[in-house]
């Protein structure tokens, strides 16, 4: 789904984000939603009846524009998920009336309260057994969310449409109202006055002439989620393209308001075919190749990715690309629950940039992604939606859309473009996820297996964490005197709420006298210093030059006190050893990573009983290599120890005096 303007927070009840360090804990309660601000959901045991698995839906409905009502028969085939199942429930808003429910042709009893239909089955079923019920109902559909069932008009003609995401399917038909349980197939039969054309999902199998009305019989042979089943009804004018790929030829059907289907729009619509080729190449074959892809114009100011027939309020290049990409991410693989909506919206939003890159080049991709990044910086809380009772929280444009897209952009930056699209294709084709549902961990698992990388840190901080890294960068170099330049980069992150700091591979680029050098470091600390030996004089420095990270940079400055070479702590064995009467002791003091000033250094000598016999050094010293002479003229033969101590380092060595 995509709206022209940023989606308003329809029901604003912002819950302070409490981030848990235990991801598994978050996931474990992902099914427990806190429905405090959508009254209709108060009594819903989301996500639907967990004792059944829906295998088939048939909607056979008559839509009355004048009465603003609907009537019909809904057939639901389902499998029992437990033994001795003798009652089930469905979601249906109270405003609709149930006339009768039949099971194996027998009328069965039910109650309809609190938007739940409790049904007593005619007989009981054990695990895996299938049964079928038919619900005869009528009434005036409700309209929640973005307008789940709308009676409207255009140019004097009736226009009727549905947009059920996220919780609106049960506003107009009885179903198991959760994306977690797709029907394996569906039939959608719509009867309307002959002046109107009803569009729905899948293939148009038959048009039945009933006299003053006609019935369009649509069939979806692919699995379909309840919220993707749609109606779009008006005096449509059809414009078609063909998508030819390999041996397959698929019809691309654009159902438009006749007054708006001019030549300009046709040339825009033709781009859909180009997009089908592009996304099939990037993500694998168009998922519903045996059916169709198409648009059905409607009166809502955005687009909604109804399976095989996106509803469109306007036609721009990026929104057409966005909704088409949803056919892979959203429709073929659907987020299991609305906590993971970024698997739909982040992926579709990323795909807008991917489409632009394919057609107009990488610069266009980068500039579009830069726009997503600036929007993503407004995101509050984690991408994993905490409060899925709020439509505004689920469909936060800066978070679920823009930041979700940026996460894919950053993943691409880490694994590389080729591997990234391998991940996307592998995910879209995965046998347990394709035409099914997924959560973030499913995508992470595939990203890790395809890339061979451990990406736990990445998904943990970007999906379950909040905000983005804010860096202060220092750099400098020193001429080593041998034609190389010891170069230092200090990366410091402002302390974030959660995570405290971001772990990311970071590209550092040096423009040098002999050309550019880019290195990637794995930044995994609040403050960290990296050293490089460059073979040419560095002229300038760039942090994350390809904008692979969502970030803010406070400043890039010269680090202080960079004139000293880089050393490790070390205390060398004295030389000579054994000795008589004097020997040389060498040691090194490094620059501290968090303190560039001098440090207190002590070098003392002890006898074998631990008595101090000499203090060789006791003063503040800068980083560097040092050596001192130890004269033992006044000591007797034996074993002695010399010990180097600084604020953070201590080491002892043994030496032997033989006179």
Contact residues toward Zn ion (CB under 5 A) are 1-2, 345, 348
Q: Which is nearer to Zn ion, 348 or 455 (CB)?
A: 348
Look up tokens 């990234």; give the residue: 420
Q: Which is nearer to Zn ion, 311 or 476 (CB)?
A: 311
User: In the complex, what is the shortest distance from the CB of residue 165 to Zn ion, in angstroms, rounded to a whole number?
Assistant: 9
Return all residues near 108 (Cβ < 8 A) that are at least 6 apart: 101, 102, 119, 120, 121, 122, 133
Name the 3-class secondary structure at 232: strand
Q: Give the helix/strand (H/E) hosting 448.
A: helix 440-451
Other C-beta atoms closer than 10 Å to the C-beta of 94 total 14
Q: What is the spatial distance between Cα 305 and Cα 302, in angstroms, rounded to a whole number?
A: 10
Name the 3-class secondary structure at 423: helix
User: In the complex, what is the shortest distance from the CB of residue 119 to Zn ion, in angstroms, rounded to a whole number?
Assistant: 34
User: In the complex, what is the shortest distance from the CB of residue 305 to Zn ion, in angstroms, rounded to a whole number?
Assistant: 6
Q: What is the spatial distance between Cα 508 and Cα 318, in angstroms, rounded to a whole number?
A: 32
Q: Give the helix/strand (H/E) hosting 457.
A: helix 456-463
Q: Which is nearer to Zn ion, 54 or 324 (CB)?
A: 324
Q: What is the spatial distance between Cα 201 and Cα 220, in angstroms, rounded to a whole number?
A: 6
Half-sphere exposure of residue 624, counting CA atoms within 13 Å on the CB side? 13
User: In the complex, what is the shortest distance from the CB of residue 401 to Zn ion, in angstroms, rounded to a whole number?
Assistant: 7
Name the 3-class secondary structure at 151: strand
**Cβ-count burial of 550 within 10 angstroms (0-12 exposed, 13-18 middle, 19+ buried)?**
buried
Other C-beta atoms closer than 10 Å to the C-beta of 400 total 28
Q: Which is nearer to Zn ion, 177 or 345 (CB)?
A: 345
Q: Which is nearer to Zn ion, 1 or 163 (CB)?
A: 1
User: In the complex, what is the shortest distance from the CB of residue 233 to Zn ion, in angstroms, rounded to a whole number?
Assistant: 23
Q: What is the spatial distance between Cα 352 and Cα 287, in angstroms, rounded to a whole number?
A: 18
- What are the structure tokens assigned to 115, written together? 């938007």
- N-terminal to C-terminal alpha carbon distance within the chain: 89
User: In the complex, what is the shortest distance from the CB of residue 353 to Zn ion, in angstroms, rounded to a whole number?
Assistant: 14
Q: What is the spatial distance between Cα 321 and Cα 323, in angstroms, rounded to a whole number?
A: 6
Q: Which is nearer to Zn ion, 405 or 603 (CB)?
A: 405
CA 236 from chain centre, in angstroms, equals 36
Q: Which is nearer to Zn ion, 352 or 442 (CB)?
A: 352
Q: Which is nearer to Zn ion, 2 or 492 (CB)?
A: 2
User: In the complex, what is the shortest distance from the CB of residue 351 to Zn ion, in angstroms, rounded to a whole number?
Assistant: 10
Q: Which is nearer to Zn ion, 302 or 465 (CB)?
A: 302
Q: Which is nearer to Zn ion, 161 or 587 (CB)?
A: 161
User: In the complex, what is the shortest distance from the CB of residue 326 to Zn ion, in angstroms, rounded to a whole number?
Assistant: 5
Q: Which is nearer to Zn ion, 60 or 345 (CB)?
A: 345
Q: What is the spatial distance between Cα 95 and Cα 97, in angstroms, rounded to a whole number?
A: 7
- What are the structure tokens assigned to 632, written together? 């033992």
Q: Give the helix/strand (H/E) hosting 398.
A: none
- What are the structure tokens assigned to 590, written together? 């490094």
Name the 3-class secondary structure at 419: helix
Q: Is the dihedral of CA 316, 262, 157, 187 positive or negative?
A: negative
Q: What is the spatial distance between Cα 164 and Cα 322, in angstroms, rounded to a whole number?
A: 18
Q: Which is nearer to Zn ion, 348 or 605 (CB)?
A: 348
Q: What is the spatial distance between Cα 441 and Cα 475, in angstroms, rounded to a whole number?
A: 38
């Amino acid at each position: 789904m995509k709206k022209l303007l940023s989606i308003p927070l329809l029901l604003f009840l912002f819950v302070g984000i409490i981030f848990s360090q235990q991801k598994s804990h978050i996931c474990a309660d992902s099914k427990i939603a806190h429905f405090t601000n959508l009254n209709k959901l108060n009594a819903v045991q989301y996500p639907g009846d967990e004792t059944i698995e829906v295998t088939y839906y048939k909607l056979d409905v008559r839509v009355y524009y004048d009465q603003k009502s609907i009537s019909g028969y809904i057939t639901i085939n389902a499998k029992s998920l437990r033994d001795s199942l003798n009652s089930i429930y469905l979601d249906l808003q109270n405003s609709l009336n149930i006339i009768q429910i039949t099971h194996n042709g027998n009328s069965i009893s039910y109650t309809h309260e609190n938007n739940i239909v409790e049904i007593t089955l005619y007989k009981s079923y054990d695990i895996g057994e299938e049964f079928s019920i038919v619900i005869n109902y009528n009434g005036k559909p409700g309209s929640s969310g973005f307008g789940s069932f709308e009676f409207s008009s255009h140019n004097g003609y009736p226009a009727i449409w549905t947009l059920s995401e996220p919780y609106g399917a049960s506003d107009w038909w009885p179903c198991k109202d959760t994306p977690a349980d797709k029907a394996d197939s569906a039939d959608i039969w719509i009867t309307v006055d002959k002046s109107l054309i009803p569009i729905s999902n899948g293939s148009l199998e038959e048009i039945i002439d009933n006299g003053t009305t006609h019935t369009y019989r649509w069939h979806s042979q692919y699995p379909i989620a309840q919220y993707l089943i749609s109606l779009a009804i008006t005096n449509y004018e059809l414009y078609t393209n063909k998508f030819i790929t390999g041996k397959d030829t698929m019809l691309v059907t654009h159902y438009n308001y006749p007054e708006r289907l001019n030549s300009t729009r046709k040339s825009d619509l033709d781009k859909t075919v180009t997009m089908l080729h592009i996304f099939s190449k990037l993500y694998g074959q168009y998922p519903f190749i045996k059916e169709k892809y198409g648009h059905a114009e409607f009166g809502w100011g955005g687009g909604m990715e109804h399976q095989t027939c996106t509803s469109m309020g306007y036609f721009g290049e990026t929104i057409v690309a966005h909704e088409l990409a949803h056919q892979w991410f959203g429709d073929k693989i659907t987020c299991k629950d609305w906590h993971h909506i970024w698997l739909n919206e982040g992926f579709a939003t990323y795909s807008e940039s991917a489409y632009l890159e394919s057609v107009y080049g990488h610069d266009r991709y980068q500039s579009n992604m830069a726009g997503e990044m600036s929007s993503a910086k407004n995101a509050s809380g984690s991408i994993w939606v905490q409060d899925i009772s709020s439509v505004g929280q689920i469909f936060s444009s800066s978070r679920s859309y823009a930041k979700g897209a940026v996460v894919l952009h950053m993943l691409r930056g880490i694994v590389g473009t080729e591997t990234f699209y391998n991940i996307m294709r592998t995910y879209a084709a995965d046998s347990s996820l394709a035409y099914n549902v997924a959560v973030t961990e499913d995508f992470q698992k595939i990203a890790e297996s395809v890339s061979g990388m451990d990406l736990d840190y990445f998904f943990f901080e970007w999906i379950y964490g909040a905000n983005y890294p804010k860096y202060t960068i220092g750099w400098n170099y020193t001429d080593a005197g041998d034609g190389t330049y010891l170069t230092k980069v200090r990366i410091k992150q402002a302390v974030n709420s959660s995570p405290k700091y971001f772990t990311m591979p970071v590209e550092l680029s040096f423009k040098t006298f002999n050309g550019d050098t880019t290195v990637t470091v794995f930044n995994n600390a609040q403050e960290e210093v990296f050293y490089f030996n460059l073979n040419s004089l560095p002229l300038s420095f760039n942090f994350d030059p390809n904008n692979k990270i969502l970030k803010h940079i406070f400043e890039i400055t010269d680090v202080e006190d960079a004139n000293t070479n880089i050393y490790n702590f070390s205390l060398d064995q004295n030389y000579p050893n054994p000795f008589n009467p004097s020997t040389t002791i060498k040691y090194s003091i490094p620059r501290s990573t968090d303190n560039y000033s001098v440090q207190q250094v002590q070098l003392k000598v002890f006898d074998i009983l631990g008595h101090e016999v000499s203090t060789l050094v006791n003063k503040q010293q800068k980083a560097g290599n040092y050596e001192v002479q130890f004269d033992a003229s006044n000591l007797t033969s034996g074993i002695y120890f010399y010990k180097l101590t600084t604020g953070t380092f201590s080491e002892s060595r043994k030496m032997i005096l033989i006179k």
